[in-house]
Structure 1
Amino acid sequence: MTARFTIEPLVVPEAPGAPGWADFEAANAVRNVCEAAAYGTDDLGYRADELLPLWTNTDFDPKHGLIARLDGTVVGRAVCDTLADPASSHAWLEVLVRPEARGLGIGAALSDAIEQLALDDGRTTYIVYAASPEAPGPRLDAPTGFGSVPLENPEVRFLLARGYRLEQLNRGSRLALPANPGALRRLEADALSHAAPDYSTLTWIGTTPEQYRSDLAHLHTRMSTDAPTAGLEEPEDVWTVERIDAEDASRASADLVPVTAAVVQAATGALVAFSTMFVPSEARRAITQDDTLVLREHRGHRLGTLVKLANLRAVEHAYPGHPSIITFNAEENRPMLDVNEAMGFAPIGYEGAWRRDA
C-alpha cells in the first residue's frame, strides 16, 4: 500500500495548549529526533514551549513553517527564516523528516513547498545548514579549504541533486562540565596578560542592562558581518535597541535564561565583545552557547578567550550541575576553535552550510 502524506502550514499557537499546540509540539519533536540522530546526543533538544517565543517575535525575525503528515501523524517539518527587510534576497531553510519516514518523497515535497514559499516572498538566495554524520567513502570538500562532508550521505546527495553547493562546514562541539579549573586559570592568566588594563569583563543574567542596550545592538549587527560566512555571503542583519528589548521579552517567556558576558574597553566604556549562553531550567540538560563576537578592530588581545571564560564562570556559578555546553563554529574560524579547544570543547559532529540561487 502506498504511503499517503500531506503538506500543510504549521499553525503557530498563541500559547502552550492553545489551538495548534499539538502540531507545534509534534513538529518540535521532529526537530529533536533528527538532531539526536545526526549528532548522537540529546544535548541539542529543546521543549516546544522554550522555542515558541522565537516563532512569535515576527516583527524582527519573520519565520514560516510547514508540516508533513503521514497517515495523519506529523513526521516532517520545514522552516523558512528571513530578515525583516523585504528587500533582502536571503532565506534560511530547514527541512527535517523523522528517520522512520524517510525514502517516501516527504523531504522532496517539503523542500519544493518551502522553496516556493520563499520565492513567493521575493527571496531568491537559499541557505541550508544540514548535519552530516561521519561515514566512510569519498568526501566533498568545502571550498574554504577547511573540512568536508561524506559525499554518499543521503543529505549530501539530496542537496546536490536540488542544485545546492557546499560553501562551508560548521563544527558542533561539547564541553563537559564542570570544566577543568586548572586549565581555565592558565587560560585566564594568559588572556589577562594581553588584555589588561585596557579591557575588562562584566556579566549579567536575563534582561540587558539599560546602559548596554545600544552597544549590544551594535555587536549583534556586527555578528552578521564579522563572523566568517564563506561563499554564503549572508547579509547584514541590523539590530536596534527596540530589537534588543523584543528579544529580551521573548527570551524572558521562553524558560531559557540568557547569561551574557561582555568586554568593556577602558578608554571608551563601550562593549567590544560579547558571549551569550542559554540555560534550561532542568539541571540535567545541556547549556547552549549562542553568539560570541569580538569586533574586528579589537582582535589580537585574547578578548575571545576572556569573554568566553567570563561567560563560563557565570553559568557555572549561577547554574551548577548542568552536564555540558554545546556550541557551533565555522571550521575555518581557527581563532575561536583554538579558544574552545583550550577550554576543553571536543567535536560532536559537523554540518554543511549550503547555498542555492533561484
Structure 2
Amino acid sequence: MTSFNVEELTIPSTVYDDDAADFVESVVVRNAVETAGYGTPDLAYTPAEVLPGWLDTEHSPRRLFGVRVDGKIVSRGMYERGTAADARVAWAVVEVLPEYRGRGIGSAVADRIEQIARLDRRQRLLVYVVSPGSDGGPDGPGERLVPPTGFGSLPAANPEVRFLTARGFRLEQIERASRLALPLDEHELRGLVAAASIASGLDYVVHSWIDHTPEEWRDDVARMYTRMSTDAPSAGLDEPEDVWTTERLLESERRNEADPRSMLTVAAEHRPSGRLVGYSQLSVPPEPDRAVIQDDTLVLREHRGHRLGMLLKVANLAALQHKRPGHPSVITFNAEENRHMLRVNEELGFVPIGYEGAWRKDLL
C-alpha cells in the first residue's frame, strides 16, 4: 500500500476567501462520490450551501481532511465529535474519487480519523455509506448482509462493505433514499391535503414559514429539533441526544442566511395545548432545475396515530409547488424499519433510488 499524506484542510469563513480553494475542491469530491453512489446528481450541493454547517464550531465541531495526487484533491475526510460533557461518539466520512480507489487512500484517511477519535476518547465511531447496486432487499444477487433490525440488506461483496467490515465496523441500519417526481397534479394534491386534514381531526392545525422561525414558535421548534435526535429510529447506533435551545436555533438561522437554499417548514399545532407537535422541512436550492431535499419530518410520539405525518408532507409539497415551483423532484431518506413513514412516502409516489448503510465501530 502506497503512503499518502493526509492533510487537514482550512475551513474558510466564506467561499470567496483567499483560503477557500481547498474547501471548494473538497466539495467537488463530495459531489462526485455522491453522484457515483446514487447514479444521479440530485444530491450535489454547492460549496456555499455546504459551508454554513461547517461554521457551527460550538455544537458540531468538524475537521476536514484531504489527500492530493499530482496537486489535485482526490479524497475527502470529515471528523465530527459530540460536544456534551459525557459525549462519547464521533462521526466520520471517508470519500475517494472512483478513479483513485484501490490505492490505499481511503485506508490512510480512515486511519487518521480513527486515531483522532481515540485521542478524543470517543467510545464509538459512526459512518453512513451508500452501497451502489443495492436493492435493499434479501433477493439481490450474491450473499447479503442484514442489519440487526432485520429490515433491508446490502451486497456483502461490495467494496465499501468489505472495507468497513475489515476495519471492525458492524452494520446497524439501512437507510433508503427515495425520489418523488414533480410536479404533482394540483387537483390531486389539494385532495390529499384535504383528506389528511380530515383524518388528523380538528385538534390540529398546520402553520408554514420560510427560513426564519416565527418568534411564537421558536421554543417549540427547538424542543422538536431535540426530540428529532431521540425519537427517530436509530437502531443500535446509540445516537446521542442533540440538545437545541432557542438561542441555538437563532444562531443556526443567522448562519444559514449565507446559504443560497431556502428552508420551507410546516408544523402542526395541537390546538388544545397550543404547542407544536410535529414538523416537516424541505431544503430548496435557488435553481429550479435542481432537486429539493426533504429534511426532517417528525411527529412527537405522544401525537402519532392521527395521520399527521401525511398531513405535514402533503402540506409542504403544496407550499413548495405554490412558493417555489419548477423543481424536478424531491429526495428523501428513511430508515428501512421506519415502515410508517415509508408507507406515507410510497402513497405519495416516492420510489427508491439507492440505499446506504449506517455502521458503528466500538473504539474502547
TM-score range relative to shorter protein: over 0.9
How far 1:181 moved relative to its partner?
3.7
Query: Is the CA contact 1:191–1:306 (under 8 Å) kept in the aligned structure 2?
Result: yes
1:203 corresponding residue in structure 2: 208
TM, length-normalised to structure 2: 0.95
1:281 corresponding residue in structure 2: 286
CA distance, structure 2, for counterparts of residue 122 and residue 48 of structure 1: 31
Worse-superposed segment, 156-165 or 113-122? 113-122
Does 2:299 match 1:300? no
Query: Is the CA contact 2:6–2:109 (under 8 Å) kept in the aligned structure 1?
Result: yes
Query: Is the CA contact 1:3–1:70 (under 8 Å) kept in the aligned structure 2?
Result: no
1:316 corresponding residue in structure 2: 321
Query: Is the CA contact 1:127–1:232 (under 8 Å) kept in the aligned structure 2?
Result: yes
1:167 corresponding residue in structure 2: 172
1:265 corresponding residue in structure 2: 270
Does 2:340 match 1:346? no
CA distance, structure 2, for counterparts of residue 235 and residue 122 of structure 1: 16
2:75 corresponding residue in structure 1: 76
How far 1:86 moved relative to its partner?
4.2
Query: Is the CA contact 1:171–1:350 (under 8 Å) kept in the aligned structure 2?
Result: yes
1:22 corresponding residue in structure 2: 21
The residue identity in structure 1 corresponding to 2:26 is A
Cα RMSD (Å) of the superposition?
1.4
CA distance, structure 2, for counterparts of residue 336 and residue 181 of structure 1: 22
The residue identity in structure 2 corresponding to 1:159 is L
Give SS of 2:256's match. Answer: helix
Residue-by-residue CA offset, 1:91-110 (whole Å, 9 max, x unaligned): 11110000011011000000
How far 1:182 moved relative to its partner?
4.9
How far 1:251 moved relative to its partner?
1.5
1:129 corresponding residue in structure 2: 128
1:37 corresponding residue in structure 2: 36
CA distance, structure 2, for counterparts of residue 37 and residue 123 of structure 1: 31
Q: How many residues were matched structurally?
A: 357
Residue-by-residue CA offset, 1:245-292 (whole Å, 9 max, x unaligned): 111112111111111000000101110000111111111111111011
Residue-by-residue CA offset, 1:298-323 (whole Å, 9 max, x unaligned): 00000000111111111111110011
2:138 corresponding residue in structure 1: none
TM, length-normalised to structure 1: 0.97
How far 1:192 moved relative to its partner?
2.0
The residue identity in structure 2 corresponding to 1:258 is M
Worse-superposed segment, 175-184 or 65-74? 175-184
User: Which consecutive unaligned segments of at least 5 residues does structure 1 have?
Assistant: none
Does 2:64 match 1:65? yes
Query: Is the CA contact 1:183–1:343 (under 8 Å) kept in the aligned structure 2?
Result: no
The residue identity in structure 1 corresponding to 2:122 is R
For residues 44 and 163 of structure 1, do their structure 2 counterparts lie closer, same or farther at Cα, with a shift above 3 Å needed? same
1:10 corresponding residue in structure 2: 9
Counterpart pick for 1:223 among 216, 221, 228: 228
How far 1:185 moved relative to its partner?
4.0
Give SS of 2:165's match. Answer: helix
CA distance, structure 2, for counterparts of residue 3 and residue 26 of structure 1: 23
For residues 345 and 182 of structure 1, do their structure 2 counterparts lie closer, same or farther at Cα, with a shift above 3 Å needed? farther
2:102 corresponding residue in structure 1: 103
How far 1:81 moved relative to its partner?
1.8
The residue identity in structure 2 corresponding to 1:97 is V
Query: Is the CA contact 1:4–1:71 (under 8 Å) kept in the aligned structure 2?
Result: no
The residue identity in structure 2 corresponding to 1:6 is N
User: Which consecutive unaligned segments of at least 5 residues does structure 2 have?
Assistant: 135-140
Query: Is the CA contact 1:289–1:326 (under 8 Å) kept in the aligned structure 2?
Result: yes
Give SS of 2:213's match. Answer: coil
CA distance, structure 1, for counterparts of residue 189 and residue 154 of structure 2: 32
CA distance, structure 1, for counterparts of residue 356 and residue 4 of structure 2: 28
Counterpart pick for 1:148 among 148, 153, 157: 153
Query: Is the CA contact 1:171–1:351 (under 8 Å) kept in the aligned structure 2?
Result: yes
CA distance, structure 1, for counterparts of residue 296 and residue 119 of structure 2: 31
How far 1:225 moved relative to its partner?
0.6
Give SS of 1:111's match. Answer: helix
Query: Is the CA contact 1:177–1:322 (under 8 Å) kept in the aligned structure 2?
Result: yes
CA distance, structure 2, for counterparts of residue 169 and residue 246 of structure 1: 32
Query: Is the CA contact 1:68–1:76 (under 8 Å) kept in the aligned structure 2?
Result: yes
CA distance, structure 2, for counterparts of residue 182 and residue 171 of structure 1: 29
Query: Is the CA contact 1:274–1:307 (under 8 Å) kept in the aligned structure 2?
Result: yes
How far 1:17 moved relative to its partner?
2.5
CA distance, structure 2, for counterparts of residue 41 and residue 207 of structure 1: 31
Q: Percent identity among equivalent residues?
A: 52
The residue identity in structure 1 corresponding to 2:109 is L
Query: Is the CA contact 1:6–1:70 (under 8 Å) kept in the aligned structure 2?
Result: no
